[in-house]
């Protein structure tokens, strides 16, 4: 049986393919979470309006927090994979290839980040995320509070929900900021 040696380059390329497959799956899952959130929000609003029960709106904040947190975790892993490819795999493959000074493996991983409008897109995306996962449930809580028909225990629950939504909002903004570059 002939001996087959696997090179470091082959292993790195296999790892690259594996992490890019994971990144692609996470992107699809993350993006679908916005649609799921919109669907749940519409369903909760419709149910509360039909029943004429503002207390039913209290279902919205926990759902939005769970979906928002799941969105955030996946978004962070997507970014972490990109950083790993840019900072670890790319340079190692470039070095193994003994490439020219102007060559860098996986150049797209760097090039698409230098777009002049990237910053404004990130700001708009953060605003969309905050709206979907925080502003909408806070609006539902406001309607509940203005309605004034909730008892003391429901008001207490609503305050805890508001704190959870605010915590998620803080994390969404925190993770939207660029990671500090290492020197």
Confidence class of residue 167 from pLDDT cuts 50, 70 and 90?
A: very high
Q: What is the mean pLDDT of the chain?
A: 90
Report the number of distinct structural domains present in the chain.
1
pLDDT tens track for 119-143: 899 999 999 999 999 999 999 999 9
pLDDT score, position 95: 84
pLDDT tens track for 49-87: 999 999 999 999 999 999 999 999 999 999 999 999 999
- pLDDT exceeds 60 at position 1: no
Confidence class of residue 48 from pLDDT cuts 50, 70 and 90?
A: very high
Average pLDDT for residues 3-27, to the nearest whole number? 89
Q: Which domain holds residue 88?
A: 8-176
Q: Which residue has the higher pLDDT, 150 or 154?
A: 154
First-to-last C-alpha distance (Å) of the chain:
49
Q: Which residue has the higher pLDDT, 131 or 177?
A: 131
Q: Identify whether 2 is part of a domain.
A: no
Q: Identify whether 183 is part of a domain.
A: no
Per DSSP, 56 falls in state G
- pLDDT exceeds 50 at position 183: no
Q: Identify whether 169 is part of a domain.
A: yes
Q: Identify whether 1 is part of a domain.
A: no
Q: What is d(CA 171, CA 58) in angstroms, rounded to the nearest whole number?
A: 22
pLDDT score, position 150: 79
Query: What phi, psi does 85 have (nearest 5°)?
Result: -65, -45
Nearest to 66 by CA among 91, 85, 40, 86: 40
- Tokens for 116? 């002049």
Burial class, 161, CB count within 10 angstroms (exposed 0-12 / middle 13-18 / buried 19+):
buried
């Amino acid at each position: 049986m002939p001996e087959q040696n696997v090179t470091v380059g082959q292993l790195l390329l296999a790892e690259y393919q594996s992490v890019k497959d994971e990144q692609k799956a996470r992107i699809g899952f993350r993006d679908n979470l916005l649609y799921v959130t919109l669907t749940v929000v519409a369903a909760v609003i419709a149910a509360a309006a039909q029943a004429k029960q503002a207390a039913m709106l209290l279902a919205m904040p926990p759902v939005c927090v769970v979906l928002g947190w799941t969105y955030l975790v996946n978004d962070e892993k997507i970014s972490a994979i990109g950083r790993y490819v840019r900072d670890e795999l790319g340079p190692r493959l470039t070095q193994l290839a003994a490439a020219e000074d102007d060559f860098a493996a996986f150049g797209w991983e760097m090039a698409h980040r230098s777009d002049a409008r990237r910053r404004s897109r990130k700001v708009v995306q953060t605003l969309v995320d905050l709206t979907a996962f925080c502003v909408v449930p806070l609006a539902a809580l406001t309607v509940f509070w203005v309605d004034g028909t909730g008892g003391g225990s429901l008001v207490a629950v609503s305050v805890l929900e508001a704190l959870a939504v605010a915590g998620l909002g803080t994390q969404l903004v925190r993770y939207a900021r660029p990671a500090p570059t290492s020197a």
